Amino acid sequence: MDSLDTQVLDAARRWAAEGHRFALVTVARTWGSAPRPPGAWMVLRDDGQVVGSVSGGCIEDDLIRRALDGEFSSGEPRVLRYGVTADEAHRFGLPCGGTLELVLEPVPDAALLATLAARIGRGQLARRRVSLASGEVAVEDGTAGDAQQWDGETLVTVHGPAWRLLIIGAGQISHYLATMAQALGYRVFICDPRSEYADGWDVPGTERVLAMPDDAVTELALDPRSAVVALTHDPKLDDMALLEALKSPAFYVGALGSRANNAKRRERLRQYFDLTQQEIDRLHGPVGLAIGSRTPPEIAVAILAEMTAVKNGVAVGAGVYGVGCVV
């Protein structure tokens, strides 16, 4: 789950404990351009308070109006559609004729929301299944390969721990990368066995892993919601992490360095370690998108941009250090 989805779940549980009535709204399907992807959700209280988002704002305004009118105070889960016509898309601020199909649950089961939160808190993936025909909602075990499903009658959404980022190296770039990654909803871990760097680490909300880089990767048991970025400039440390990370199911593995140094790194991995060519090809190095970055914050932006593209299934090109870097 990203940070906004976690806020939705937290708000729903808090409102339930306080005795408020509320509805849960989930993006089931989109056509054309849409501000929020399938699976995004929001919680809407009967007094108009909202946490989360299903669009750029105009649809939320309409949902709030309908909630205040008592339209969502009872009943079974139902489908709401916005932007079916060009005029409606324009009225609700949907770009390029976009259309949203939403599933609204007027009275979510608070106990099941607590069950979902407990699973996520234990680091487990979960599927939440909503049947429109019966009104039945269930929380089931999830797996790494699960994806959202919607056939017009049953909505299955996937929920789980926050996206995780393990940074190897506690240098200046890492400070910016950690701060920005947290803003994007990542749980950030930092590993650096060099005390001269690690002792000065002071980014709030991050977690130190007191181990060597390869052991840190193993200890975190990386999953498809995990990323690893090696930034020490020390091949002995960076390569230790990469040896384990490239064999893991992590969705992104990157390493700082010039094209020349990354070519040498790949050759070392090929010659001296038990990595397949397919595993080596997973390495993003030079790390980050080629946006001309030179300063630490710019490099952090480039890295997160590439991570975001990979996470969202968007093809990316060569890295940030294509020209002029000697590291």
SS3 305: helix
Tell me the HSE value of 126 on the side-chain side, using a 13 A CA sphere: 24
Burial of 93 (0-12, 13-18, 19+ CB in 10 A): middle
Geometric angle at alpha carbon 36, from 315 and 180, rounded to 5°: 65
The pLDDT, as a whole number, for residue 91 is 61
In the block, tokens 């038990």 appear at 274
- Provide, for the chain, the percentages of residues in helix, strand and coil under a 3-state DSSP scheme, each rounded to the nearest 5: 35, 20, 45
pLDDT confidence of residue 327? 38
3-state DSSP assignment of residue 295: coil
The β-bridge partners of 265 are: none
Alpha-carbon distance of 232 to 166, in angstroms, equals: 13
Write the single-letter amino acid at 21.
R
pLDDT of residue 324: 31
Q: How far is CA 198 from the centre of its chain?
A: 26
Tell me, letter by letter, the H, E, C secondary structure of 240-306.
Answer: HHHHHHCCCCCCEEEECCCHHHHHHHHHHHHHHCCCCHHHHCCEECCCCCCCCCCCHHHHHHHHHHH
pLDDT confidence band for 323 (50 / 70 / 90): very low
Confidence of residue 3 (pLDDT cuts 50, 70, 90): low
How do residues 205-253 score in pLDDT, each as one tens digit? 999 999 999 999 999 989 888 999 999 989 899 999 999 999 999 999 9
Rounded distance, CA 239 to CA 235, Å? Answer: 5
pTM of the model: 0.66
Other Cβ atoms less than 10 A from the Cβ of 196: the count is 8
Cis peptide bond N-terminal to 235, omega within 30: no
Q: pLDDT digit string (tens) for 128-160?
A: 999 999 999 999 998 766 789 999 999 999 988
- Percentage of the chain with pLDDT > 90? 66
3-state secondary structure of 277: helix
Q: How far apart are CA 176 and CA 111, in angstroms?
A: 39
* Residue 23 to residue 287: CA distance in whole angstroms: 43
Q: What would the pLDDT profile of 261-293 be if each residue is shown by its tens digit?
A: 999 999 999 888 889 999 999 999 999 999 999
Rounded (5°) CA angle 170-199-231: 10
The first and second tokens of residue 43, run together, are 């919680």
Give mean pLDDT, residues 103-131: 91
Domain definitions of the chain by residue range? 3-159, 164-311
Residue pointed to by tokens 């789980």: 160
> 172-202: per-residue pLDDT in tens?
999 999 999 998 889 899 999 999 999 999 9
d(CA 88, CA 84): 7
Could you tell me the CATH superfamily of domain 164-311? NAD(P)-binding Rossmann-like Domain (3.40.50.720)
DSSP state of 14: H
User: How long is the chain?
Assistant: 327
